[in-house]
Amino acid sequence: MKVTINDVAKHAGVSMKTVSRVINKEPSVRKKTYDQVMLAVKELNYQPNTAARNLAGTSSFAIGLVYDNPNAYYIIDMQNGVLSRCKEEGYELVIHPCNAQQKDMQAEIATMIKRSRLAGLVLTPPLSEQQPIIDMLDELGVSYVRLLSGHNEDEEEKSKNCIYVDDFAAAYEITEHLLSLGHKHIAFVCGDEEHKSTTERLAGYKQALSDHQIAFNEDFIHKGTYSFESGVKGAKALLEDGNPKKITAILGGNDEVAAGALFAARLMNIEIPAQLSISGFEDSPFSRQTWPKLTTAHQANDVISEHAARLLFSKTRGSRNQDKDITTTFTPNMVVRESTGPAPQ
């Protein structure tokens, strides 16, 4: 396997940022550290990326927002949050949509950085969860902040580069809300498998069931995507043939999924919430455009992305202008609306 900058850092006992500084011959590196890293480079036969070395010194008054997400409301909120901070700092924002499944994503992002001469990047899921992209950015010596599902105890050594959203806790709270209403047969329609938020939300759902002595049933899980169509398909699959599984509540992976599930239930003449409770996630406009309106978890994406931008500017400017008011973990708050009610007797 190809030796990466991460391998060199571990072998030398230093950070990847330090390795990048040595490779790019930055004058601030102490001789002892320089010798230590270069010895590791020699012993591992590490071959630095020439493009990375050329890019390391670039700077500009622009940062980038890189994303791959079909939810337009999510993207707009993310853009608005980052852009608001850019205006405060006097920076421009370069927006770059990607296909996370595409091969050679690292090369595409590297080319974008080179052409736009960016000072740094804000990465959204699932791109922020792909280690090859992170390794490439470290090799380039480019500053970045990752938006991740989880909490800052998950990856201690990387937490300074991350803004976390505690999807586990939020999904737990919604599931517990449904349980408090007497629901015992609660289904879950998942989002995209490659998103860590799907894993975290499913885990929160499972933990709430376990803590209330409700057995987990694999038949109550429908794997899908973060889309309205997936919610329709999932609800139909779970409730087909007159609902033989006796499901009384559905938790959608996000509001689009939940809205699709509600639409499917309407087509099947199922009353909401008298016969079936449905909840979503994220508190997007979808949650307020349905009838009845959706119980959900409010996720302030514009605030979250603004703090990501603040953290990025704090990193790029060093210790001179540290922002002490940055929040690094956000927990979505449950919003109870008319789509959930007591379990039918």
Domains of the chain are 5-56 (1.10.260.40), 62-166+301-332 (3.40.50.2300), 168-299 (3.40.50.2300)
Lowest pLDDT segment from 58-72, 289-303, 322-336: 58-72
Q: How many residues does the chain have?
A: 345
Dig out the tokens for 153 from the structure.
């105890």
The whole-number pLDDT of residue 54 equals 45
For the entire predicted model, the pTM comes to: 0.80
Rounded to a whole number of angstroms, the distance between the first and last alpha carbons of the chain is: 60
3-state secondary structure of 16: helix
Query: Residue 214, class by beta-carbon neighbours within 10 Å (0-12 exposed, 13-18 middle, 19+ buried)?
Result: middle
- Amino acid identity of residue 316, one-letter, is T
DSSP classification of residue 119: S
The whole-number pLDDT of residue 243 equals 74
DSSP classification of residue 156: G
Lowest pLDDT segment from 25-29, 155-159, 263-267, 283-287: 155-159
Contacting residues for 176 by C-beta, under 8 A, at least 6 apart: 208, 211, 212
- Amino acid identity of residue 106, one-letter, is Q
Percent of the chain with pLDDT over 70: 90
3-state secondary structure of 94: strand
